[in-house]
Each structure stands twice: as structure tokens, then as C-alpha cells.
Amino acid sequence: MKNKFLSVLSVGLVAIIVVAISDLFAMLSLGSFAWIAFISWNFTAKATDDSPKSKLLIRLIISIPIGLILAICMIHIPILFDNNIVIKYLIVFLCNGIAVLFPTKLVSGIFLGIGITFSGLGVGIMPNTLKDAFIILSVIVIFSILGMIAAWSSEKLQNKTN
């Protein structure tokens, strides 16, 4: 029972750190991005292969920007065609099809990048300019890495308490 309590305590403390860092970004009027870290935390904790977390981090740093670029294409290319529904669905089909052409170990990170980008739209983040897209990409990568560090540290802390 003591070990379970220590596990809960350690993971809870890591979560507080994640939210505190997000709050610092929010104070800079950038919004709260803890949700990205928690998505990445889950993704990292549930990674299906036996690769070291450092290799997973490298794959995410490569694949999340690819997902962002594909998501931006899905958002902006249909606008060039007056949001024609056929063009829109064709672009969505092509962008998601392109994602699976990448090496298998990158695909889940690409879809993570697409999902995080579209989730950002729900909170008012819109990649209208190259500068906005770069800011979004930077925030996504920072908080994805934060989530991976949280997953790694909570795993290590849990292992020490068991």
C-alpha cells in the first residue's frame, strides 16, 4: 500500500510541474498548453515498441512537425478552392494517405502532430502565417517533449517505489 501511495504521489507531483510550466506560458498570453504535454505523456507511456525513450523522443521531434505541415495543408489548401467540399475531402484523404508513406515508426507521431494541430484550432490557435505556424510548432514540440519527460520521470519514480 505504501508503494502505491508513493507512486500516486510521484506521478501527481510530475503532473503539477507540467501544469505549472503551462501556467507560465499562459501568463505570457500564449494560452495553456498542458493538454499537449498530457497527450504526449500518454503517447510515450503507452508506446508499443521496446525502443528506449530517447529514440522515441527523436522520432517525435521528426514526426510531429510533419503532422503539423499536413494539418496546415488540410486547413489551407481547400480555402484556395473556396472550401469546395470535394477538394476538402480529397486533400484530407491525400494528407492522411501521405502520412502512412513514412516509416512505420514515424506514423503514430505524424498523426499525433495532426491531432494536436487540429486540437489547437479548438482553442483558437490558427496557423495563418508562417510565423504563427512556427510558433505553434515550437509550442507543440516543447510541450510534447515536456510530456515525454513527464512520462519518463513518472515511470522512473514508479519503478523506485515498487
Chain segment 129-157, per-residue pLDDT in tens: 777 777 777 888 888 888 888 887 777 77
Q: How many CB atoms lie within 10 A of CB 6?
A: 15
pTM: 0.66
At a CB cut-off of 8 Å and minimum separation 6, what does 152 contact? 44, 53
Residue 104, Cβ density class (10 Å: 0-12 exposed, 13-18 middle, ≥19 buried): exposed
Domain assignment present for 86: yes
Q: Does some domain include residue 71? A: yes
In tens, the pLDDT along 76-97 reads 888 899 988 899 899 988 888 8
Within a domain: residue 48?
yes
Within-domain flag for 109: yes
pLDDT in the model for residue 103: 82
Identify whether 103 is part of a domain. Answer: yes
Q: How many structural domains does the chain have?
A: 1
**18-27 burial, b if ≥16 CB within 10 A, otherwise e?**
beebbeebee
Average pLDDT, the chain: 78
How much is the pLDDT for 125?
61
Whole domain around residue 123: which residue ranges?
36-150
Note whether residue 27 is domain-resident.
Answer: no
81 inside domain:
yes
Residue 145 counted as domain residue: yes
> Each residue of 8-53: pLDDT tens digit?
777 778 888 888 888 887 777 666 777 788 887 777 766 655 667 6
Q: How far apart are CA 82 and CA 72, in angstroms?
A: 16
